[in-house]
Amino acid sequence: MKILVTGGAGYIGSHTVVLLIEAGYEVIVFDNFYNASKESIRRVEKIINQSIEVIEGDLRNRDDLKSVFEKHTISSVIHFAGLKAVGESVEKPLKYYDNNVNGSAVLCEVMAEYDCKSIIFSSSATVYGDPHTTPILEDFPLFATNPYGRSKLMVEEILRDVYVSDNTWKIILLRYFNPVGAHESGTIGEDPNGIPNNLMPFIAQTAVGKREYLSVFGDDYDTKDGTGVRDYIHVVDLAKGHVNALDRIENFKEVMTVNLGTGKGYSVLEMIRAFEKASNKKVAYKIAQRRAGDIATCFADPSYAKEVLDWKAEKSIDQMCEDGWRWQSQNPNGYKGIV
Ligand code: NAD
Ligand code: UFG
C-alpha cells in the first residue's frame, strides 16, 4: 500500500516514515522543505537501508499534488505538512491560514479527484485551549487561543464537513501532546530554526553549550512546583500511533478523534532534572515571567487511543531525554551545514 506522507521530511514526519517502512508500507514523501532539510531524508534512508521517493512540492499548489497522484495510486495520506510556530502565527495569521487551512483544503480536493479518501491529520492538544480539568478527554470543549491553534481547529472542522458530505471518507484526527526526543540512532531529530520556542530543544541546546541558560516561564502556577506541567511524548511512540491508526483506518465508520499523549504530566523543573541526568550536563536556568498564552497544566487521558488504536506510549521521560541528548550531542547544529 502506498502512503503519501506530507511534511515527511519534518520532525514527526521523518520518524513516522521510518516506522511506516519498517511496518511494510510503501512511502512517498511530499514536502516543500520550508522547515526541513533534505539531509533528514538521507538519514532516514540510512536507518531503513533503502531509498525513499521524495516529491518536492507545496500543498497549496494543485499541480504539485496532482503530479503525485498521477504517478502513484495512493491508498492513504498522513498529513503532517504545516507551519507550527505559535508566536509567528500571531504576527502573520494569514500565512498560517493560507498554508495550514488552504493547503489542507487543496490536498483534500486533489485526493477526492483521484478517489483517495483516507487521511490521518496532525492536530494538537492546543485545540483544548485552557482545559477546565485534567486529564483531557477527546470530548472536552474546543477553544483555540492563537491563529496556529485556530488553523488546527479549522482543519478538523473541514475534515468533519468533508465526511458529512461523503461518508466514504476515512478520517482520523490525532491530537498530539508535546512531542520530544529523537530516534534512538541519534541521526534524526528536531532541528528548530533559530532560537527554539519549545522547552526540550531549548534545554538540549543549553546542555550542549549553545545557549547560556534557559528561562523558566513562571514559577507561580498552581502546579506541583509552580512551573508549567505538560504531557511530553517520545516522538517514536507518537510515530507508532500513526502506524496503528493507519492499520485500522479502513475499519472505522466515523471520523475518529484521538489524543496521543502519555497521560503523565511533568513540570519544567522536572524536565530540567531529567535532562541533566540523561546528559550528565548542567542545565543553567533562571526563573522568568510567565509567557503570554501559556496554561498551567496540560496532559492527556490516553485511554481512547488504547481502546481504538490499541496504542499506548511506552517510552519513559528518561528515554525521551537520553534519545534527545544523543541527537543533540551528535548533531549540535542539527542538519545545518551538511550538504
Ligand atoms: P515540522 O515543521 O518539523 O514538519 C512540518 C513539515 O511540513 C516540514 O518538513 C515543512 O517543510 C513541511 N511543510 C510545511 N508547509 C508545507 C506546504 N505548504 N507544503 C509542503 N510541505 C510543507 O513540524 P513537526 O513538529 O514535524 O509537526 C508536524 C505536524 O504536527 C504539524 O502539522 C504540526 O502542526 C503538528 N503538531 C506538532 C506538534 C509539535 O510540538 N511538534 C504538536 C502538535 C501538532
Ligand atoms: N517553557 C519554558 N521555557 C522555554 C520554553 C518553554 O519555561 O524556553 C515552558 C512553557 O512555559 C511550558 C512548557 O515549558 O510550561 C512547555 O512549553 P513548550 O513551548 O515546549 O510547549 P507548549 O505546551 O507551550 O506548546 C506545544 C507546541 C504547541 C502545541 C502544544 C500542544 O508549541 O504548538 O505543545 O501540542 F500546540
Model confidence pLDDT, tens digit, residues 227-280: 999 999 999 999 999 999 999 999 999 999 999 999 999 999 999 999 999 999
Residue with CA closest to ligand 2 atom 6 = 199
Question: Cell match 497549496: residue?
Answer: 60
Eight-state DSSP code of residue 291: P
The band of 339, judged by pLDDT with boundaries at 50, 70 and 90, is very low
Model confidence pLDDT, tens digit, residues 128-163: 999 999 999 999 999 999 999 999 999 999 999 999
Task: Give residue 222 CA to ligand 1 midpoint distance, Å.
Answer: 31
Ligand closest to CA 238: 1
CA dihedral in degrees (245, 246, 252, 256; nearest 10)? 40
Q: Which domains are present in the chain?
A: 2-183+232-261+300-314 (3.40.50.720)
pTM of the model: 0.98
- Tell me how far apart the alpha carbons of residues 257 and 156 are, in angstroms, rounded to a whole number: 9
Which of 268, 299, 320 is the pocket-test mutation for ligand 2 (most atoms within 8 Å of CB)? 268
Model confidence pLDDT, tens digit, residues 207-220: 999 999 999 999 99
Alpha helices of the chain — where are they, by DSSP H?
A: 11-22, 38-48, 62-71, 86-91, 93-96, 103-113, 147-165, 199-207, 235-248, 268-279, 303-309, 317-330
